[in-house]
Amino acid sequence: MNLFNLFSKRTTAPVARERLQMLLAHERAVVGQSDLVAILREEILAVIAKHVPVERDKVQVKMNREDSVSTLEVDIELPPVPSMKVA
Amino acid sequence: MAKVLVVTSGKGGVGKTTSTAALGAALAKGGQNVCVVDFDVGLRNLDLVMGAERRVVYDLINVVQGDAKLAQALIKDKRCETLSLLPASQTRDKDNLTAEGVERVMGELREKFDWIICDSPAGIERGATLAMRHADVAVVVTNPEVSSVRDSDRIIGLLDSKTERAERGEEIQKHLLLTRYDPVRAERGDMLKVEDVLEILAIPLLGIIPESADVLRASNLGTPVTLSDATSAPAQAYMDAARRLNGEKIPMVIPDGRRSLFGKLFGRRAA
């Protein structure tokens, strides 16, 4: 170690701490919601399937969590009208 | 009433097996009946750390599958008569560990022992979730290092969702055991401090185990560090942690980074 790094050397632990705090705040939200989105998707599918034949991959559920507003986006593509039965 | 404790971490190599052996021996020395159970099927090591590797006849999978009775598989410690080991299988496939089988064995262990300490395999796969499944208490072993802290955070999430207690809506007690802590490096600002890890993981602290040559020395000999040299710093820290598990209030000793003049002049740097 020369005299120059003796004065300029920054400690690394605060960097580790900050990186972890950022990362975990994000990961906790993602892991927490992946289960919820899967459950919502299955239940929404089941409700729709009771009335309309719908393909599994035509139902998209997305959750977006932000600091101020969180949204749930559900996108369902129904089959063409002629085959649609009204229950 | 019997308590099932899981020693877990997510990340490998942070000291789960060492801590299982040390806490198990410390609790048993206090007179309680303790069984340490190795869940790391295929990579068993608790037998080696406990110095019982040549005494394994039957293992957890034999008992789970009904090929052996629990009493046949349990290995009584030679140094401490209230301590027993249920080893993992080294040769069988881990798929043989069924959820129903593990539940039955845990039930039988609860009748015989005060503490059942489950040494979890690393990772978040089936072996790890089975090890934590029936736990009342969890010890999350963490090193003051970014990857270990991240994995511990993940494991805490699993404890809160995949255990029987969590599914019943009950609380599972979680404790942080900070291992391989080097106060000199922490003081210098090159290692996460105790407070940093506690603030990030937000679970109560069970103990701080200082980085120490005594831990390796104990495992070289196949003796839990709490039995080999009870006066060493890591042994003292594990003994205090074991007493806290029993509900005792003991002030936390944060390992001291200061070195004596002699140490400064002649000692080798810890890092």
What are the tens digits of pLDDT across the range B163-206? Answer: 999 999 999 999 999 999 999 999 999 999 999 999 999 999 99
Phi, psi of A12 (to 5 degrees): -100, -20
Q: Does B146 touch chain A (CB under 8 A)?
A: yes
Across the interface, do A31 and B188 touch by the CB < 8 Å criterion?
Answer: no
The residue written with tokens 């000999």 in the block is B221
pLDDT at residue B270 above 60?
A: no
A81 — pLDDT class (breaks 50, 70, 90): confident
End-to-end CA distance of chain B: 44
Taking the Cβ of residue A35 and every Cβ of chain B, the question of whether any pair is shorter than 8 Å is answered with yes
Q: Is the pLDDT of residue B21 over 90?
A: yes
Instruction: Quickly state the pLDDT bin for B271 (edges 50, 70, 90).
Output: very low
- The sheet carrying B3-8 orders its strands as B75-76, B83-86, B34-38, B115-119, B3-8, B137-142, B173-181, B205-210
- The amino acid occupying position B235 is A
Q: Of A54-58, A65-69, A77-81, B131-135, which one has max mean pLDDT?
A: B131-135
Q: Are B4 and B133 in contact, with CB atoms under 8 Å apart?
A: no
* CB nearest to B196's CB, from A13, A28, A31: A13
User: Cβ B157–A19 below 8 Å, yes or no?
Assistant: no
In terms of CA atoms, which chain B residue is nearest residue A35?
B161
Would you say residue A9 has pLDDT above 70? no
Higher pLDDT, B30 or A55: B30
Q: Flag whether residue B161 sits within 8 Å of chain A, measured between CB atoms.
A: yes
Element counts in chain B: helices (H) and strands (E)? 14, 8
Q: Is B71 helix (H, G, I), strand (E, B) or coil?
A: helix
Whether residue A5 is predicted with pLDDT greater than 60 in this model: the reply is no
* CA distances (Å), origin B176, targets A12, A55, B55: 23, 47, 32
Predicted pLDDT at B167: 93
Q: Chain A within 8 Å of B220 (Cβ-Cβ)?
A: no
What distance in Å separates residue A32's CA from the closest CA in chain B?
8
State yes or no: pLDDT of B25 exceeds 90. Answer: yes
A3 by DSSP, 3-state: which? helix
pLDDT, mean over chain B: 93
Predicted local distance difference test score (pLDDT) of residue B159: 96
H/E stretch holding B112 reads helix B99-112
Please check whether residue B156 touches A, CB under 8 A.
no
Q: Which of B150, B153, B196 sits opposite A17 (nearest CB)?
A: B196
pLDDT for B148 beyond 90: yes
pLDDT of residue A34: 65
Q: Which of B7-21, B63-77, B141-155, B248-262 has the least mean pLDDT?
A: B248-262
Q: What percentage of chain B exceeds 90 in pLDDT?
A: 89
Which has the minimum average pLDDT: A38-42, B41-45, B63-67?
A38-42
Structure-token pair, residue B114:
């005060």
High-pLDDT (> 90) share of chain A, %: 15
- The minimum CA-CA distance between B199 and chain A, rounded to whole Å, is 9
Among candidate residues B14, B245, B23, B12, the one with its CA nearest the CA of residue B141: B14
Q: Do B154 and A35 touch (CB under 8 A)?
A: no
> Cβ distance B197 to B176 under 8 Å?
yes
Neighbouring CB atoms inside 10 A of B109's CB total: 22
B5 pLDDT higher than 80: yes
Pairing of strands B137-142, B3-8: parallel
**Cβ distance of B150 and A31 shorter than 8 Å:** no
More confident residue, A42 or B100: B100
Note whether B153 contacts A28, CB cutoff 8 Å. yes
User: pLDDT at position B216, please?
Assistant: 95
Whether chain B has a CB inside 8 Å of the CB on A24: the answer is yes
Question: Model-level pTM?
Answer: 0.82
